[in-house]
Amino acid sequence: MTTLTAVSEVEFSTLRDNLNVSDSVLSKHLAALAEIHYINSRKGVHLGRRTTWISLTSTGGKALSEHVAVLRELIAGVE
Amino acid sequence: MENMSGSPTPEEAAAALAGAEASRTSLARRLVVPSFFSISIGTAIAVQIATTAVGVADVGHRGVWNPAGWLMASGLVALAAVATIQLIRFRRLNGLWLGGFASRVVGGTAAAASLSYALTFGAAIWAAFAGAWWLVGLCSVVGGMAYAMSGRRWVRIYRGEPAAHARGESAAWLAAVGVLALAGLVFLMIGR
């Protein structure tokens, strides 16, 4: 999800290659995130073939910020 | 965002944040600008400034559909065509869409691009009315170069801080600016 904050929308294979994960692993995670409305996914075309375009929703962005804040608090607690 | 069961240790939290940040930075650094991007956008802006300045200053013709009107329209169409082609190439090349790139680099909403454009556009129109054609050319070239350089600067800034610069202005804001720009151009064309 952090990766999605760097773009407005990203194509499935670009995200897969950047995260260095398999198609199935990424699909599974994206489906879970889409179900709770953290990401949007839509069918589209890239380089002449059908693919999926993914973007972070405002709900997802907010949840990510909160999650990062909690992690930072945890880290700060030991410093 | 990792789905962690239970509370992570500080070390795990630090590792999760570092991993996520590395992945985001990696994507931002992979970003490739299409070949001849700066030169084509800069040239299109220079042509648009020059054609509009020359067209506006042509007081020999009234109305819109005359040689001066066509000249202005051709500059705008050329700019729109170059911008559209480069955005399509950018999307195809990178496999992603970046609102910040579209609005700030191509649309020129970055502070440096909009300021330099306004200054050189105004100066070019003034020079055209004064009949100083060499100055029209100079202002156009400077305007195009400044616009292109502002774009290059934005890409550098984006790579350093991708999350803060990825999204561009809202569609409503861009539409409002577009309507204002169009109204200004129509006013210039009709009011000649």
The pair phi, psi for residue B7, each rounded to 5°, is -90, 130
Closest CA to B100 of B110, B86, B92: B110
Q: In what order do the strands lie in the sheet with B96-97?
A: A39-46, A49-56, A9-11, B96-97
The reply to whether residue B13 touches residue A74, judged by beta carbons under 8 angstroms, is yes
CA distance to partner chain A, nearest, from residue B165 (Å) = 8
CA distance to partner chain B, nearest, from residue A22 (Å) = 15
- For the purposes of burial, counting CB atoms within 10 Å of the CB of B170, is it exposed (0-12), middle (13-18) or buried (19 or more)? exposed
Average pLDDT over residues A59-72: 87
Closest CA to B31 of B159, B183, B176: B159
Contacts B162 to A, Cβ<8 Å? 5-7
Is the per-residue pLDDT at A32 higher than 60? yes
Cβ count near A22 (within 10 Å)? 10
Handedness of CA B175, B181, B182, B183 (dihedral sign): positive
Q: Which tops the pLDDT comparison, A2 or B143? A: B143
Mean pLDDT of chain A: 88
Contacts A65 to B, Cβ<8 Å? none
Q: What is the pLDDT of residue B87?
A: 92
Q: What is the pLDDT of residue B191?
A: 64
How many CB pairs (< 8 A) connect A and B?
A: 82
Tokens of residue B88, six digits: 């399509």
Per the DSSP assignment, residues forming a β-bridge with A10 are: A54, B96
CA distance to partner chain B, nearest, from residue A63 (Å) = 9
Is the per-residue pLDDT at A65 higher than 80? yes
Per the DSSP assignment, residues forming a β-bridge with B149 are: none
SS3 of chain A = CCHHHHCCEEEHHHHHHHHCCCHHHHHHHHHHHHHCCCEEEEEEEECCEEEEEEEECHHHHHHHHHHHHHHHHHHHHHC
Q: What is the pLDDT of residue B4?
A: 47
CA distance to partner chain B, nearest, from residue A75 (Å) = 5
**pTM for the full model?**
0.82
Per-residue pLDDT of chain B (192 residues; tens, 9 = 90+): 444 456 778 888 888 888 888 888 888 888 899 989 999 999 999 999 999 998 888 766 666 667 777 888 889 899 999 999 999 999 999 999 888 888 888 888 888 888 999 999 999 999 998 888 999 999 999 999 999 999 999 999 998 888 878 787 777 777 787 788 778 777 766 666
The reply to whether residue B1 touches residue A10, judged by beta carbons under 8 angstroms, is no
Tokens of residue A49, six digits: 């073939």
Residue-range domains of chain A with CATH:
3-78 (1.10.10.10)
Q: Which residues of B have a CB under 8 Å from any CB of A?
A: 1, 3, 7-10, 13-14, 16-17, 20-21, 23-24, 26-28, 30, 92, 94-100, 162-163, 166-168
The rounded percent of chain A whose pLDDT value lies above 70 is 97
Q: What is the pLDDT of residue B2?
A: 46
Asked if B54 and B128 count as a contact pair (C-beta separation under 8 A), the reply is yes
Q: What is the pLDDT of residue B161?
A: 85
